[in-house]
Amino acid sequence: NKTTSDCHRQEQAGALRALTRRYGARLIVNDCIELALQVEADGVHLGGDDGDLTAARQRLGPGKILGASCYDDLALARQAQAAGVDYVAFGSFFPSQVKPDARRASPELLRAARRELTLPLCAIGGITPANAPALIEAGADMLAVISALYEADDPRAAAEAFAALFPSPLPSPAGGRGGRSVATRR
């Protein structure tokens, strides 16, 4: 929640941490390594302006998940892999209400990344259960969704539709903690 005070963000993240522990889910904090460390999150996802990935990996240690936004740039993904991230995210693949001016990525970028990188690949941007299969076919291991889940008439049914797109487990990042999943970003 980038629109509220630091105090409120910490309060919300702490409440989410309690819920994720209760239900055996992971908590990845978006954009803020300090907040991730404060609430003992499972990891952090950093964008291009959110800090140095090598320094973030050192601060987090090897047992925490570190993800990086690479937008439409395979060179950024190569650098992120070298810095020790656990996954990379590409997008926006489709028009998005959340970030309408985001750079566009193509499914071919996922194919190229799949050939070159050894990391799990995340796709983001305007993804729905209807357009997601093309991204999965192109190499996406995870999907980051906001509107298709949070604005759905039935968020549970939407989450189940996304989960059904991934019938088999994916080797998990950061020391075997998890499986193939639908990632959500807020």
pLDDT tens for residues 18-29? 999 999 999 999
How much is the pLDDT for 176? 40
Q: Round the average pLDDT of the chain to a whole number and report it.
A: 89
pLDDT band at 173, cuts 50/70/90?
A: low
Query: pTM value?
Result: 0.86
Closest Cα to residue 149, out of 159, 140, 141, 139? 159
pLDDT tens for residues 148-171? 998 999 999 999 999 999 887 655
pLDDT tens for residues 56-110? 999 998 899 999 999 999 999 999 999 999 999 999 999 988 888 889 999 999 9
> What is the C-alpha to C-alpha distance for residues 27 and 55, in angstroms, rounded to an integer?
20
How much is the pLDDT for 17? 97
pLDDT tens for residues 26-50? 999 999 999 999 999 999 999 999 9
Give me the amino acid identity at 56: A
The per-residue DSSP string of 88-154 comes to EEEE--S--SSSTTPPP--HHHHHHHHHH--S-EEEESS--TTTHHHHHHHT-SEEEESHHHHTSSS
| Contact of 154 with 163, CB cutoff 8 Å | no
